[in-house]
C-alpha cells in the first residue's frame, strides 16, 4: 500500500523521467556544460524541468521530416554520383586563396555542398532598389518562380513584389512560395495570402506551429532562409526579409533595418533552387524530381522548379557560365539537415584569415568555439573588426551579446557599434579574398536551430565589393573603447552574464 501512495508514485515517476532524460542527454552528446545544465535543471525542477527539456532541450524534429531529409540526401548523393566528373569543370585552385580548397572540401564533407565557378553577381544594399529589382525579375519570368522567406510584411515596396507575383501567376508562370509560419505570423492574417492563392500562386506555410505539433517536433525551429529563383537563371539571397523597412517594426525603437542582397547568375542559381525545392518537398510531401544537369554547373542536386512539377521546359533559360566570375559554394544548414557543418565552415573561414577579418551580424551570441576562433585570430595578429548594431530588437540578445565584448576587446578585436539603424546584414570577409554572405547570424539560434543558407565565396572581386559595403557600416559606427566599457556598473555586467547563460540552452 505504501508503494501505491500518491506521493511515492509522484517521486517514482519523477525519478523515472530523470533517468530517461538523462540517458537521452548523454546519448545526444551535447557540449559538457549544456549537458550538465540540463541534468541539473531536470533534477531540481520536478516536471517543469523535463517539460522545458521536451520543448527546447534538443533539436527534435518530426519523424516525417527526418525521413524527408534522409530521402533528400539519398536523392542528392545519387545525383552527385551520376554527374560527378561528367560536367564538373576543372577547378584551378592556384587562382584562388590558399585556404579555398580546404574550406570547400570541408563544406563538401559536412554539408554535401559542391562548388560552382564563373558566377556573375551584383551586391545591392538599397532597400527600394532591391525590392524593385526582384519585382522586375519576377515580371520577366517565363517558366518558374521559387521563393522562400522568414518574414513577409505588407506595405511599401514589398507590395510591388506581391503584385509582380500575382501578374506572373496569372500569365501562367509556375509560382511556388514558402513563408515561415511564425516569422510572418502577422502577414498570414492579412488578405495578401488569399490574393496570391486566388491568382494561382502555390503558397505554403513553413514549419507550422501548434500544441499538437509540439508532441512530434520542436516548434521553435524556424525557416530563416531568404531565396528567390527566377526561371532557373537568376537568384537572390542575403539578409533581407520581404519587407520595406519604412513599414516594418517602426515601434521597436531601433531605427530602420539595414540589409543587403546579392543577385546571382550562373551555376550557383541551381544550388539555391535545390535548397528551396528541398524545403518545398519537406513541407508538401511532393517528391523532388531530378533534371539532368546542364553544362557549366557543378551542383548537388541539379533540380529545378519545373523538375519538381514534372514538366521541365527545354526552352527555359539556363544558368550558364557568365564568363570569368566568382567561385561560390551554397551551404544550407538546420536540424536534421546538417550537424555542425555551418559552424565548422565559419570557424575555418575565421581561421583562414592572415591579415584582416571583418564581420557584421545583428545578433552576436556565438558558440564558444567560434568565440575562441575570433580571439585567436586577433591574438595572432589579424586585424579583426566586429560590426554590430548599437540597438537590437531582442532584449535577451542585446544583453547577452554585451557579455562577450570584454573577452574580445582584451584580445584586440575592434568592436564597432552601428548607429544607422538595426544593421541586419550577415557577412564575413577575410583578407579581401574569401567571404561569407547569407542569412546566418552569429548566434546560437542560427547556428543550431534555424534553417539557414550561407554563400561561401572564393573570389577577390566579391570579397572586395562586400568589404566596401562593410566599410560604409564602419563609417556610421562608434568604436568601443576598452577602458570605458570595462568601467560600466557591476549590475549591468551581472545582468549581461546571467542572460549569457541562457544561450547554450536555446
Alpha carbons 66 and 75: distance in angstroms, whole number: 14
Instruction: Select which of 180, 259, 424, 459 is catalytic.
Output: 424
DSSP, res 95: G
- Are 467 and 383 in contact by the 8 Å Cβ rule? The answer is no
- Are 380 and 438 in contact by the 8 Å Cβ rule? The answer is no
- Asked about 424 being catalytic, the answer comes back as yes
Instruction: Select which of 137, 180, 306, 426 is catalytic.
Output: 426
Instruction: Select which of 79, 224, 279, 443 is catalytic.
Output: 224
* Phi and psi, residue 262, nearest 5°: -120, 135
- Asked about 71 being catalytic, the answer comes back as no
- Are 422 and 289 in contact by the 8 Å Cβ rule? The answer is no
Residue 216 CA from chain centroid, whole number: 23
- Asked about 231 being catalytic, the answer comes back as yes
Task: Give the SS3 label for residue 437.
Answer: strand
Name the residue with cell 562577450.
404
Alpha carbons 425 and 422: distance in angstroms, whole number: 9
> Residue 178 forms beta bridges with which residues?
148, 204
Instruction: Select which of 180, 244, 431, 459 is catalytic.
Output: 431
Task: Give the SS3 label for residue 359.
Answer: strand
Instruction: Select which of 231, 244, 279, 306 is catalytic.
Output: 231
Alpha carbons 283 and 221: distance in angstroms, whole number: 14
- Asked about 249 being catalytic, the answer comes back as no
DSSP, res 183: T
Alpha carbons 375 and 405: distance in angstroms, whole number: 11
Alpha carbons 115 and 107: distance in angstroms, whole number: 9
Cell of 250: 517602426
Cell of 372: 575562441
Cell of 132: 524593385
Instruction: Select which of 226, 259, 279, 367 is catalytic.
Output: 226
- Are 58 and 50 in contact by the 8 Å Cβ rule? The answer is no
Question: 503's torsion region: left (phi>0), alpha (psi -120 to 50) or beta?
Answer: alpha
- Are 269 and 235 in contact by the 8 Å Cβ rule? The answer is yes
- Are 145 and 167 in contact by the 8 Å Cβ rule? The answer is no
Cell of 386: 566586429
- Asked about 426 being catalytic, the answer comes back as yes
Alpha carbons 257 and 255: distance in angstroms, whole number: 7
- Residues designated catalytic: 224, 226, 231, 424, 426, 431
Amino acid at each position: 500500500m505504501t508503494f501505491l501512495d500518491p506521493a511515492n508514485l509522484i517521486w517514482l515517476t519523477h525519478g523515472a523521467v530523470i533517468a530517461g532524460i538523462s540517458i537521452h542527454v548523454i546519448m545526444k552528446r551535447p557540449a559538457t556544460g549544456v549537458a550538465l545544465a540540463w541534468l541539473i535543471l531536470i533534477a531540481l525542477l520536478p516536471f517543469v524541468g523535463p517539460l522545458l527539456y521536451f520543448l527546447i532541450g534538443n533539436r527534435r524534429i518530426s519523424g516525417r521530416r527526418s525521413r524527408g531529409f534522409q530521402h533528400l540526401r539519398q536523392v542528392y548523393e545519387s545525383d552527385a554520383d551520376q554527374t560527378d566528373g561528367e560536367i564538373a569543370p576543372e577547378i584551378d585552385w592556384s587562382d584562388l586563396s590558399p585556404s579555398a580548397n580546404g574550406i570547400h572540401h570541408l563544406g563538401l564533407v559536412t554539408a554535401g555542398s559542391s562548388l560552382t565557378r564563373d558566377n556573375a553577381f551584383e551586391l545591392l544594399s538599397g532597400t527600394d532598389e532591391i525590392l524593385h529589382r526582384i519585382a522586375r525579375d519576377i515580371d520577366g519570368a517565363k517558366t518558374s518562380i521559387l521563393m522562400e522567406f522568414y518574414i513577409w510584411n505588407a506595405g511599401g515596396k514589398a507590395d510591388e513584389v506581391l503584385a509582380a507575383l500575382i501578374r506572373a501567376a496569372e500569365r501562367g508562370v509556375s509560382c511556388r512560395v514558402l513563408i515561415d509560419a511564425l516569422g510572418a505570423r502577422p502577414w498570414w492574417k492579412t488578405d495578401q495570402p488569399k490574393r496570391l492563392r486566388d491568382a494561382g500562386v502555390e503558397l505554403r506555410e513553413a514549419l507550422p506551429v501548434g500544441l499538437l505539433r509540439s508532441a512530434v517536433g520542436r516548434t521553435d525551429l524556424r525557416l530563416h532562409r531568404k531565396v528567390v529563383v527566377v526561371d532557373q537563371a537568376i537568384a537572390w539571397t542575403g539578409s533581407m526579409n520581404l519587407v520595406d523597412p519604412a513599414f516594418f517594426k517602426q515601434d521597436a525603437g531601433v531605427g530602420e533595418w539595414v540589409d543587403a542582397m546579392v543577385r546571382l547568375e550562373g551555376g550557383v542559381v541551381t544550388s539555391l533552387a535545390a535548397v528551396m525545392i528541398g524545403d518545398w518537398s519537406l513541407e508538401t510531401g511532393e517528391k523532388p524530381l531530378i533534371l539532368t544537369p546542364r553544362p557549366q554547373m557543378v551542383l548537388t542536386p541539379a533540380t529545378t522548379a519545373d523538375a519538381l512539377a514534372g514538366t521541365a521546359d527545354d526552352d527555359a533559360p539556363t544558368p550558364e557560365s557568365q564568363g570569368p566570375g566568382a567561385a561560390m559554394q551554397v551551404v544550407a544548414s538546420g536540424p536534421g539537415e546538417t550537424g555542425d557543418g555551418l559552424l565548422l565552415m565559419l570557424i575555418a573561414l575565421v581561421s583562414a584569415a592572415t591579415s584582416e577579418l571583418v564581420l557584421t551580424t545583428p545578433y552576436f551570441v556565438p558558440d564558444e568555439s567560434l568565440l575562441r576562433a575570433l580571439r585567436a585570430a586577433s591574438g595572432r595578429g589579424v586585424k579583426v573588426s566586429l560590426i554590430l548594431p548599437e540597438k537590437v530588437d531582442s532584449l535577451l540578445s542585446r544583453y547577452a551579446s554585451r557579455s562577450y565584448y570584454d573577452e574580445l576587446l582584451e584580445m584586440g578585436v575592434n568592436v564597432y557599434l552601428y548607429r544607422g539603424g538595426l544593421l541586419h546584414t550577415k557577412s564575413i570577409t577575410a583578407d579581401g579574398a574569401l567571404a561569407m554572405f547569407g542569412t546566418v547570424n552569429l548566434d546560437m539560434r542560427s547556428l543550431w536551430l534555424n534553417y539557414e543558407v550561407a554563400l561561401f565565396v572564393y573570389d577577390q572581386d566579391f570579397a572586395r565589393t562586400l568589404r566596401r559595403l562593410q566599410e560604409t557600416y564602419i563609417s556610421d559606427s562608434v568604436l568601443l573603447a576598452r577602458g570605458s566599457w570595462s568601467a560600466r556598473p557591476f549590475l549591468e555586467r551581472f545582468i549581461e552574464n546571467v542572460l549569457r547563460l541562457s544561450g547554450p540552452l536555446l
